[in-house]
Amino acid sequence: MKYIADASLFIIGKRLEGNFITVPSVVGELRDENARTSMELMDVRVEPPTSVFIKKVRDKALATRDSEELSATDIELLAKALEYSAREETTLVTDDFAVQNTALQLGIKVMPAGQRIIKDILTWEKQCMGCKRRFPQGDECPVCGSPMNKRRTNRVRKNK
Ligand SMILES: [Zn+2]
């Protein structure tokens, strides 16, 4: 089985059998040492996405209104998953609802990395890659103009 993986798989450290592929920007987002070790142990192949598939993902995300929720990294992951799913069975492993939603619209199989993904409410914020300030939304830092990445702020358990 071939898996396209986002950072959550390595952060959670879930053990799966198969071949793993990710994009360079996911590797760049892995700050946690355990997550980096986990990625090395899984012998993950890092491949940049191609522009043709990035455009296909962007077009679909615009149509489904997921585009505001998707970071540049999310779009690269989806592009890589779309590229592979066109020629073989591929599963995208992600805990991100917007990525899951867009993937399903693109006909890509998805699997959550965490166990409780459906019960959790995730909230997000953007963090500047330059000055590290945090903002509720936007793609470009209003202070220094650097690009901003999406970050998970907290995780709230829904009441049963
Ligand atoms: Zn900034």
φ/ψ (deg, to 5) at 101: -60, -45
Are 92 and 70 members of one domain? yes
Q: What is the mean pLDDT of the chain?
A: 85
Question: Do 22 and 81 share a domain, yes or no?
Answer: yes
- If asked whether residues 48 and 66 sit together in one domain, one would say yes
Under 8 Å between Cβ of 134 and 154: no
Q: How many CB atoms lie within 10 A of CB 30?
A: 17
- CA dist 128 → 81, 137, 149 (Å): 26, 11, 6
102 and 134 in one domain? Answer: no
Q: pLDDT tens digits, residue range 26-38?
A: 998 888 888 899 8
Q: Which two tokens stand for residue 124?
A: 């997000």
Q: Is beta strand 148-157 parallel, antiparallel or unpaired with respect to 120-128?
A: antiparallel
CA of 84 to the centre of ligand 1 (A): 35
Is residue 104 located within the same domain as residue 123? no
The pTM score is: 0.70
Residue 100's domain spans which residues?
A: 2-111
Residues 104 and 36 both lie in one domain: yes
Q: Are residues 105 and 123 in the same domain?
A: no
* Ligand 1 center to 20 CA (angstroms): 33
From CA 110, how far away is CA 4, in angstroms rounded?
Answer: 9
Q: What is the pLDDT of residues 40-76, one digit of tens each?
A: 989 999 999 999 999 999 998 887 777 778 999 999 9
Q: How confident is the model at residue 8 (pLDDT cuts 50, 70, 90)?
A: confident
Domain containing residue 9: CATH number: 3.40.50.1010
Distance 150 CA to ligand 1 centre (A): 13
The encoded tokens of residue 17 equal 């059998």
Looking at the structure of the chain, the number of domains it has is 2
Task: Decide which of 79, 96, 111 is a domain's last residue.
Answer: 111
Quote the ligand 1 centre to 139 CA distance (angstroms).
11
The b/e string for 31-49 (b: 16+ C-beta within 10 A; e otherwise) is: eeeebeebbeebebeeeeb
Say whether pLDDT at 6 is over 50. Answer: yes
Q: How confident is the model at residue 4 (pLDDT cuts 50, 70, 90)?
A: very high
Residue 74 and residue 130 share a domain: no
CA–CA distance, 42 with 137 (Å, rounded to integer)? 33
Q: Are residues 19 and 91 in the same domain?
A: yes
